[in-house]
Copies of this chain bind each other. A is one copy, B any other.
């Protein structure tokens, strides 16, 4: 069975490859002794990029697994699990 994010897979991988490159870039900035504020700005950019990937996975998961669980068994457990992971992103 394919995971819920099957159709967004290449988009997500592309984003994560870019994020990986950004994280490597921050290491270079630190090695080069770059200005703190520039490093913080890059860290915030990576956070924003990760938020976008997180929202994509969240959306695919809700459209896929959660919707299926709701149709199959009411979805009580799937929704609890979903809320618990959303809680990790919010706080």
Interface residues of A (CB under 8 A from B): 2-6, 9, 12-13, 16-17, 19-20, 23-24, 26-27, 30-31, 33-37, 39-41, 43-44, 46-48, 50-51, 53-55, 57-67, 70-71, 74-76, 79-83, 85-91
Contact = CB atoms under 8 A, between A and B. Distances in A.
13 contacts: A3-B36, A5-B36, A16-B26, A20-B20, A36-B58, A36-B61, A36-B64, A37-B81, A43-B54, A54-B90, A59-B80, A62-B66, A63-B76
A48 B5 contact: no
Given A9-B30, A57-B36, A75-B67, A44 B83 contact: no
**Smallest CB-CB A-B distances: 9 pairs:** A36-B61, A44-B88, A20-B23, A40-B85, A59-B83, A67-B70, A3-B33, A43-B54, A16-B27
